[in-house]
Homo-oligomer: A and B are copies of this chain.
Amino acid sequence: MTAPAALGVRDAAAQIRRGTLDPVELVEACLERIRALDGRLAAWVHVDAEGARAAARERATEARGGRFRGPLHGVPLGVKDIFDVAGLPTTAGAAAFAHTRPAADAASIALLRGAGAVVLGKTHTTQFAYRDPAPTRNPWNTAHTPGGSSSGSAVAVAAGMVPLALGSQTVGSVLRPAAYCGVVGYKATHGLVPAAGVVPLAWSLDHVGLFARSVADVVQALGVLLGHPLEPVEARAPRLALAPELLERATPEVAAHVRACAEAFARAGARVEQVRLPASFAGVHAAGQVVLEAEAAAYHAPAFARHAADYGPEVRKLVETGLTVSAAAYIHANRARLAFREEVMPLLVAHDALLSPSAPAPAPAGLASTGDAWHCAPWSFAGVPAISLPSGLTTSRLPLAVQLVQAAGASARLLGVAGWCEGVLGPGATPVP
């Protein structure tokens, strides 16, 4: 039998519902795993052991009475520390001036708790969800970055500390750490999962995202966040698009790996087609960056005026640059981004998914950088759903990943084909440590 802390969302919830797993036992197993590993990995800012135990006892009592809150009844949850959890501080990875102690849950937390999830605590984020690294380390090799900005959430799921964690993605902050840490990372269409109660980085681009260890686990949690059970569209002989310009920007090792995955999908029945991205792709990275700079500056301006010295160098530069962006430049950048969103739509709709690297390389060595978000950025800037699947290991045993992208609103289609691809790729390598 699988050790409780190693159970996924769906299996844990199913065992609790059958009465073969006690929510308290599950929380204790997760806490034990955190105790054993977090000194080395630093995934957690704050473990709310007492709160989690109390919630687990309530879920256990309810379960014994045959009462289940929803599809996540008793499932432990890690929360990136830019989401408000009532009664816990929100630090946003920043200095004290930015800390708050919210009285109410973020909308997404309220939804997940309403469905029975048990908040285990807050996970490390880069400062204000930008690029100044968290102290978190990659569980596959602690000399390597776990990626960011949702560093702690990715690591907590990868290291078996929790089956489910919330993150956010403005550029590449969910799919990139998921890829670097060998877990599934997902973000829905922009705006579908409510971002209320989350410290913004750039609200036109901010997406709430999920980390889990399988597509089915993402489906179970996403249905809660969307407010209705999600039925992935069954994929048979899916039509996959492959754009050479996305492979050219990856290392030869990653490009070859994605091509090998495409061949495996083709052998399993997929039709893989070479496609050209629309001309507006060429400008979307720069355009999105301007939107990001401007919106981050607009949000941070009041605090920055008093606390500039307390900002990390990367986010300081972001805000300083953003304060110089003109309204006209912002408007044009936003239009360029939305033009790409429109122009790429026919290509996405014509395929079951666009297949891409999740990142140009496996997790880089060192903790000074959170890595390159180039492959995630276009889909964040277009606001379309995307998923990263673990797809193998390098010879030095670092996770490899592929990204699948679909059109706005097409989560059910994307998760259907993602489940199919996951089946072809086989179960991900067991999380390490």
Q: Is A340 an interface residue (CB 8 A)?
A: no
Flag A295-312 by CB within 8 Å of B: 1 or 0 each.
101100100000000000
Q: CA of A122 to CA of B148 in the docked complex: distance in angstroms?
A: 57
Residues in B neighbouring A331, C-beta threshold 8 A = 294-295, 298, 330
Q: Given B327, B329, B332, which contacts A329 in the complex, CB threshold below 8 Å? A: B327
Output the least CB separation between A325 and chain B (Å). Answer: 4
Residues in B neighbouring A326, C-beta threshold 8 A = 323-327
Q: Is A71 an interface residue (CB 8 A)?
A: no
Residues in B neighbouring A325, C-beta threshold 8 A = 326-328
Residues in B neighbouring A297, C-beta threshold 8 A = 327-328
> Is A327 within 8 A of B322, CB to CB?
yes
Q: CA of A325 to CA of B298 in the docked complex: distance in angstroms?
A: 13
Residues in B neighbouring A329, C-beta threshold 8 A = 327
Residues in B neighbouring A301, C-beta threshold 8 A = 328
Q: CA of A297 to CA of B327 in the docked complex: distance in angstroms?
A: 9
Q: CA of A327 to CA of B324 in the docked complex: distance in angstroms?
A: 8
Output the least CB separation between A187 and chain B (Å). Answer: 23
Question: Which residues on A are within 8 Å of B, measured CB to CB?
Answer: 293-295, 297-298, 301, 322-332
Nearest 3 Cβ contacts at the A-B interface: A294-B327, A327-B330, A298-B331
Q: A295-B331, A298-B331, A330-B331 are in contact. List 6 more A-B contacts (CB 8 A).
A: A293-B327, A294-B327, A301-B328, A322-B328, A325-B327, A326-B326
